Chain A
């Protein structure tokens, strides 16, 4: 039986320890799920449901949450919190609502942000692709270039531990992630 998205997403709860011990990459406390917006009242209702639900989560889980629409027409639900378990709970709850209302095809990706203890300023990401049900690394250097070497290191560190995209031809970047504009 194939694993559900939330099962796979939860594999981060152990993999982030490997990321930290092997590569010095710490969970930054930010993660996000993104899906393509649609016009229509059903979608609008779902979006309102989602916002309400996230508001109720806030006191219970110690999570800050924000929704942003980017230039590609994707809605980002961005979560910020200190505990990885809370972040994961919030993330799977959010994607769960989207799926429940019949918009699972709209779900694109979940993104986990890591910051390097060794290099200052740089961020590394694990991107979960909902269509492929697996993760791949993304380490942006600047506007349009990426640190392939660092991405390889991430693959060698957690490639066996979590479902991983083996085809590097599918490691699509996500430039200008809206995660950092929170604060």
Chain B
């Protein structure tokens, strides 16, 4: 804990970890797209642009864990600093024959966790101090196992490849239009540009949705595999309910006391649910809990 004691200013920064990671990579992607566009504009040929693009993608891949650590403020911690956390991770990896990842801690009161890394051996599992405070040991085990499942399933690679394909698709399409456009440039250049814009946006949007869908699917898989590692699906379900704040929403006040307060006339905003779920990287907590409970029922 000592490591973080001096860093009072960003203790207050409680904005979501995922948001910070997404913003960092989004900024990088925009920079990257701008740079590529400039290269196209100055008239570099396809081969050299493809070469530069792949070098940049490789670099981003190579430094991905550093970017994640940097954008979240996660610090890799030693066994001396966090002995219990290290032992907890060691228990799970030993039981499941996995390599032990490096362990990082984020000093944030928001309960959260993530995994990053290019290969199972070089990966990092990070948890926030809030997560360790709020969860009981078995629940924390569930969350760590979920992250270890992401590593085992190489989800970082899967998602990077998925986004890579969308980038490549984007460029192929742009080159296709430019390549074919030279001859007829004077005829309908304005219409051509609009068409390129529309197709580009559609391509981007579709790949965006596909990546989100893959990501949600990988979450379910990681829930399942993580629960298999610990053998306790309900503990992960409990942890999810605590992290999402759902647990706190289950009331303790008696129905007969609240009855007069018209509590039941508040219609939950269900209509927006299916729409927003298309865009989210994680499936709704209730759905994940439901699946974990079904697992528990099948196991017992």
Contacts and interface: CB of A to CB of B under 8 A. Distances in A.
A157 B297 contact: yes
A153 interface: yes
Given A36-B259, A149-B234, A173 B297 contact: no
Interface in B226-259: 234, 237-238, 241, 246-247, 249-259
Nearest to B251: A172
A58 interface: no
Interface stretch (B9-17, B79-87, B90-98, B288-296): B288-296
B251 A173 contact: yes
A152 B264 contact: no
A72 B254 CA distance: 10
B263 to A, nearest CB: 7
**Size range of the chain A interface in the assembly:** 20 to 34
Interface string A137-167: 0000000111011011101110100000011
- State the majority secondary structure of interface residues on A: mixed
B268 interface: yes
B259 A166 contact: no
B182 to A, nearest CB: 57
B286 interface: yes
Interface of A: 22-23, 36, 70, 72, 74, 108-109, 127, 129, 131-132, 144-146, 148-149, 151-153, 155-157, 159, 166-175
B248 to A, nearest CB: 9
Interface residues of B, number: 29
B250 A168 contact: yes
Nearest to A160: B290
B256 A169 contact: no
Contacts of A174: 254-256
Contacts of B264: 129, 131-132, 170
Nearest to B246: A168
A168 B249 contact: yes
Given A152-B237, A153-B296, A156-B294, A146 B252 contact: yes
Nearest to B262: A131
A109 B259 CA distance: 10
B257 A169 contact: no
18 contacts: A22-B297, A72-B256, A129-B255, A129-B264, A131-B264, A144-B252, A146-B250, A148-B238, A149-B238, A151-B250, A152-B289, A152-B293, A153-B234, A153-B297, A155-B293, A156-B289, A166-B270, A175-B254
